[in-house]
Amino acid sequence: MKHSELYLFLPVAPSTSLPDSERVARLERELEWAHLKIRLLEERLRLERIKKYGPASEKLSDAQLELLDLEPSVSGTEVQAESEREPLPASKPKTERRPHPGRQELPADLPRVERVISCTPEQCACRVCGEPTEVIGYDTSEQLDVEPARYFVAVTKREKRVCKKCEVGGVVAAPVPARIVEKSLVSDRVILDTVVAKYSDHVPLFRQSAILERETGIEIHRATLDGWVMRVGELAVPIAAAMWRELVSGIYIQADETPVDVQMHDGGGRNHQAYLWQYGRPGGSVVFDFRMGRGRDGPRQFLGKFEGLLQTDGYIAYEGVGGPKLVHAGCWSHSRRHFFDALKLNPGDTAATRVVVAIDDLFAIDAGARARNLDVAARQALRAQQAPAVLEIIRGRVEAARTGALPASALAKAANYTLTLWPKLTRFLEHPELELSNNLAENSMRPVALGRKNWIHVGSAQAGPKVAAILSVVESCRRMGIAVRDYLGAVLPGLSGVSIQRIAEFTPAAWAARNP
C-alpha cells in the first residue's frame, strides 16, 4: 500500500473544540474510509488465496476459501471438486433441458475401410421354403477407428551401376536422398514426430525417449532427441526470418509476450526468466522472437520502421516503437479482464458488473457481423452505426466506477487502465481492419503456456532462437489449417542447400499456396 493511501487511514484524534455536527461528519468519513480499507484488505486476501489454490478457486466464496485455509494440506483435486459442487439454494430452480445435438457425423475426408459382416448360415436360407436368400442391401454404420503406431526398419538401397563393356567410367550410384539429420539412426518422420509431439502436444523429450524404448526396444537418449529438435530449429530459423520480413511489410500486427525459463550453465543452479514475444497477423503468419529480457529493445528491434497498425495490451514496452506513422491500438479483452478480476474479488460489485455487461454489448456488435458473414467494410458500417452509443455508456460507467472505488482497489485500477488507454481502445472506429481484441495473439501463447508445464525450460540461451523458430512454424501452420508434419516433411530435407534468396518460397503461407 502506498504512503498516501496509508495516510488516508490514519486515525484522527477527535477535536473537542469542533462543533458536534463537524465531529459527527468527521467520524462518518473515518468510518467510511475504514469500510473501504476493509474491502481493500479483503480483496487482497482473496487474491492471495486464489493464487495459492489455483484458477479453480475463483468460483469459491470467501467462506469456502477460509475453510480451505483451515485445512493443513489441500490438493488441487479437492479444490476442483469444491468449485464444481453446486450451491444449495432454498428452492432449486428448474432448468430447461437442452435438446440433444444428435449423432455427430464423421469427416468425409477421412479414409473409409469397409468390413462386411455376412449373415449366418441359418440366415442364408429361407425360413419358410428353405431356398437360398439373396443380398438386397446393407445396414451401414460408421465408427472412428485408429491404427496404433507401427515402427519398422526402412531399408534404403541405392542402385549402383557400371559399364561392363569398358569399365573405364567406374561405378556410379544413385544420389543420396536429402535428410534432416544426415546419417541419423532414425528417419525424418521419427524426427518430425518428436518435434510435433514436443511443441504441439507438449510431450517432453524424456517421456518420448521412454515411449520409444517401450515401443521399439531401442534406447535413444534424451540428448539425442534434443539434437534432432535443435537441427529442426536451425533449419527453421531462416524460414522464421522470411516470415518476419513478410510480417513487418504488412499493415497490421498483433503482439503479446510471455515468460519462459532458460537453463543457465553458470554454476548458479538457477534458471533465467527470458521472454517469447509473439507477433502475428489475424489469419496469417505468426513469428516468435526470443529475448533474454522484457525491455523495449525487443519490440523496437523486431518492428524496426513498421508503420502499420500495432495492437497490444497496455504494457509500456510497446510505446515509442516502430516508425513515425505507426498507429498503436488497444485491446478490449484486456480492459474487460481487469473488471472481471475485480468481480472475482468482490462478486457483488454492481459497478464492475455494469461495465462488464457494457463491454459485452460492444463485442456483441462484432459477433453479429460474424454471424451474418459480413466483410470488413460491412462490419465497419455496422460498427459506425452501433458502437458510438455503446462506447458512451461504457465510458460513463467506468468513470462512475472509478469515482466510487478505493484508489488502490482492483476496480479503481481497472477503471484507470481503461480510461488511460481510451484513445487506443477506440481506434477501431477509424481503422476497419482492427479487431476489438488481441485474443488471437493470446491464443497463440497458450501452447507455450501448456508447454512450459511439461518441458519446463529452454535448454540454453543459444537454443532460444531455434525454439522460437519452431514455434513460429508450428503456430503458423495451426492458424492456416496446414498439417505441420506434411509441411515440415516437404520443406526441411535439403533446405540447407537452398539459396537464402529463395527461402521466402518455403514459408508455410507460400507452401500452402502451392499445395491448397
The answer to whether residue 288 sits within a structural domain is yes
Mark whether 233 and 265 lie in a shared domain: yes
- In this predicted structure, the answer to whether residue 24 has a pLDDT above a threshold of 70 is yes
Residue 304 or residue 97, greater confidence: 304
d(CA 328, CA 322): 10
Mark whether 469 and 324 lie in a shared domain: yes
Residues 6 or more apart in contact with residue 256 via CB below 8 angstroms: 277, 278, 312, 313, 438, 441, 442, 444, 445
> In the numeric block, which cell numbers belong to residue 142?
460408421
Mark whether 413 and 371 lie in a shared domain: yes
Instruction: Identify the three-state secondary structure at position 386.
Output: helix
Q: How confident is the model at residue 7 (pLDDT cuts 50, 70, 90)?
A: very low
The burial class, CB within 10 Å (0-12 / 13-18 / 19+), for 298 is buried
d(CA 184, CA 186): 5
Q: How confident is the model at residue 68 (pLDDT cuts 50, 70, 90)?
A: low
Among residues 429, 453, 480, which one ends one of the domains? 429
Task: Tell me the CA distances in angstroms from 132 to 42, 122, 137, one per residue in order.
Answer: 83, 10, 16
- What is the chain's mean pLDDT, rounded? 86
320: Cα separation from own chain's centroid = 26
- In this predicted structure, the answer to whether residue 318 has a pLDDT above a threshold of 90 is yes
Opening angle at CA 36, ends 31 and 42, nearest 5? 125
Compute the radius of gyration of the chain from its Cα atoms. 31
Question: Helices (H) and strands (E) in the chain — how many of each?
Answer: 17, 7
SS3 content of the chain, % helix, strand, coil (to 5): 50, 10, 40
> Cβ distance 44 to 342 under 8 Å?
no
Mark whether 318 and 385 lie in a shared domain: no
* pLDDT for residue 10: 45
d(CA 388, CA 325): 25
Nearest to 459 by CA among 256, 192, 223: 223
The answer to whether residue 2 sits within a structural domain is no
Beta bridge partners of 260: 274
The answer to whether residue 420 sits within a structural domain is yes
The answer to whether residue 4 sits within a structural domain is no
The answer to whether residue 178 sits within a structural domain is no
- Per-residue pLDDT reduced to its tens digit, 267-300: 777 889 999 999 999 888 999 999 999 999 999 9
Mark whether 360 and 297 lie in a shared domain: no
Mean pLDDT of 466-478: 95
Q: How confident is the model at residue 97 (pLDDT cuts 50, 70, 90)?
A: low
The answer to whether residue 45 sits within a structural domain is no
Mark whether 307 and 236 lie in a shared domain: yes
Domain range holding 399? 337-429
Nearest to 470 by CA among 312, 237, 246: 237
Mark whether 320 and 288 lie in a shared domain: yes
- In this predicted structure, the answer to whether residue 77 has a pLDDT above a threshold of 90 is no
Mark whether 317 and 343 lie in a shared domain: no
Total tally of structural domains belonging to the chain: 2
Mark whether 316 and 350 lie in a shared domain: no
* pLDDT for residue 276: 93
Mark whether 465 and 323 lie in a shared domain: yes
Mark whether 373 and 420 lie in a shared domain: yes
Strand ranges (E), 172-249: 172-173
- In this predicted structure, the answer to whether residue 55 has a pLDDT above a threshold of 70 is no
Most confident of 25-29, 46-50, 79-83, 418-422: 418-422
Mark whether 311 and 341 lie in a shared domain: no
* pLDDT for residue 90: 41
The answer to whether residue 451 sits within a structural domain is no
d(CA 231, CA 225): 10
Opening angle at CA 68, ends 63 and 70, nearest 5? 100
Residues 6 or more apart in contact with residue 75 via CB below 8 angstroms: none
Among residues 373, 406, 429, which one ends one of the domains? 429
**Lowest-confidence range among 50-64, 338-352, 389-403?**
50-64
Residue 21 or residue 11, greater confidence: 21
Nearest to 237 by CA among 489, 466, 472, 459: 466
Cell 542402385 sits at which residue? Answer: 159
At residue 292, what are phi and psi to the nearest 5 degrees? -75, -10
Instruction: Identify the three-state secondary structure at position 80.
Output: helix
Task: Tell me the CA distances in angstroms from 342 to 39, 120, 412, 417, 418, one per residue in order.
Answer: 12, 68, 9, 13, 13
> In the numeric block, which cell numbers belong to residue 417?
487502465
* pLDDT for residue 392: 96
- In this predicted structure, the answer to whether residue 36 has a pLDDT above a threshold of 90 is no
* pLDDT for residue 145: 87
The answer to whether residue 97 sits within a structural domain is no
- Percent of the chain at pLDDT above 70? 86
> Cβ distance 264 to 457 under 8 Å?
no
